[in-house]
Amino acid sequence: MTNKKFGILLMLMVLFSMGAKAQSVSSVRLNEVLVINEDNFVDDYGKRHAWVELYNDSPGTVDLRGCYLTNEKGNPTKYMIPKGDVLTKIAPRQHTLFWIDAQPTRGTFHVNFAFNPDGENYIALYDADGKTLIDEVTIPAGQKADTSYGLDVDGRGTWKVLGKVTPSTNNVTLDSNAKIENFQQNDSIGLGMTITAMAVVFIGLLVLYLVFKQIGNAAINASKRNAQKAAAAEGNVAAANAGTESGEIFAAIAMAIHELNDEHHDFESSILTIKKAQRNYSPWNSKVLSLRQNPVIKK
């Protein structure tokens, strides 16, 4: 029995940890990389360097502190993202940029390695344990200056040379609401929405109806069986409507029992006594249900 309980607890813990992972640092993705920066984004010092953009693909804020960036496959802990900087937090579905300039003294977002502009480059993000790989990408050699290599859809999709460079912003610019435009174009009178939505509402409640019809039938059959068993034990025949009796019948029986027990009785519930009742009245303790009563000294 103890083992069973322990097993259930363990299973729940595993399930919870799986759920928790959805909003942890594992949701961060390498999103866009610029290897050769000649006439592009500048850092706080007014200098141009290669950069990598990270994207938080989750609905919760993620903190990158303590995680690692590296450009060597055998050395996952090459650059630790410093702790104690609030800017390492990435808001939901937002980005942050790291400068690949081998100048870590310039701040949190300047790593201690640089890309090779003439060859293939590798970059990876590791979790704070220094072992768990979160994301990695190999950037092919021959990158053009001021042309970035990134995911065609933020946080997902496939890596390719992007048509435009978008540091710290979405790779796909969201300048319209496709859903609404679709409805405006194809369903201007709302008939499509009405048919679809009413169908879904009906299907939902129809499924509930069918399920509860079966559950109801099962409950009625179970009640009938119980009634038959009880009747057989007493040598009687079960009533034909066993299990389907109206709630009104039970309400009437309950009312009759209530009347019998509480209304028509010979003995009153109150107690007559000559003992002094302990009731030190004060407006502050009159609400005996919610306030402490006066302490009584036992002699």
Partner 1 sequence: MLTSILLQAAGASESFIEFLMQNIQIFLSYTGFANATPGHIIMLLVGLVFIFLAIRYEFEPMLLIPIGFGILIGNIPFKDAGLQLGIYEEGSVLNILYQGVKQGWYPPLIFLGIGAMTDFSALISNPKLMLVGAAAQFGIFGAYMIALQMGFDPSQAGAIGIIGGADGPTAIFLSSKLAPNLMGAIAVSAYSYMALVPIIQPPFMRLLTNQKERLIRMKPPRAVSQTEKIIFPIVGLLLTAFLVPSGLPLLGMLFFGNLCKESGVTRRLAETARGPLIDVITILLGVTVGASTQATQFLTLNSIKIFGLGALSFVIATCAGVLFVKFFNLFLKEGNKINPLIGNAGVSAVPDAARISQNVGLEYDPSNYLLMHAMGPNVAGVIGSAVAAGILLGFLG
Binding residues (CB under 8 A) for partner 1: these are 179-180, 183-184, 187-191, 193-194, 196-198, 200-209, 211-213, 215-216, 219-220, 222-223, 243-250
Q: How far is the CB of 78 from partner 1 (least distance, A)?
A: 41
Q: How far is the CB of 216 from partner 1 (least distance, A)?
A: 7
Q: 44 vs 245, which CB is nearer to partner 1?
A: 245
Q: How many CA atoms lie within 13 A of 98 on its CB side?
A: 35
Q: 141 vs 203, which CB is nearer to partner 1?
A: 203
Q: 9 vs 198, which CB is nearer to partner 1?
A: 198
Rounded CA separation 71/97 (Å): 16
Q: How far is the CB of 63 from partner 1 (least distance, A)?
A: 23
Tell me the longest C-alpha to C-alpha distance in the chain: 105
Q: 60 vs 142, which CB is nearer to partner 1?
A: 60
Residue 179 contacts by C-beta under 8 Å, 6 or more apart in sequence? none
Q: How far is the CB of 255 from partner 1 (least distance, A)?
A: 14
Q: Which residue, chain included where needed, has tokens 């994301």?
A: 135
Q: How far is the CB of 133 from partner 1 (least distance, A)?
A: 31
Q: 18 vs 297, which CB is nearer to partner 1?
A: 18
Q: Is the dihedral of CA 97, 162, 37, 45 positive or negative?
A: negative
Of 45, 61, 53, give the one whose Cα is nearest residue 29. Answer: 53
Q: How far is CA 123 from CA 38, 48, 111, 178, in A?
A: 20, 19, 11, 34
Rounded CA separation 219/239 (Å): 16
Q: Which residue, chain included where needed, has tokens 């992007």?
A: 162
Q: How far is the CB of 155 from partner 1 (least distance, A)?
A: 19
Over the range 230-247, which residues count as b (16 or more CB within 10 Å of their CB) and which as e? eeeeeeeebeeebbeeee
Structure tokens at 128: 């704070």
Q: 73 vs 225, which CB is nearer to partner 1?
A: 225
Q: 174 vs 271, which CB is nearer to partner 1?
A: 174
Q: How far is the CB of 172 from partner 1 (least distance, A)?
A: 19
Q: Compute the radius of gyration of the chain from its Cα atoms.
A: 36
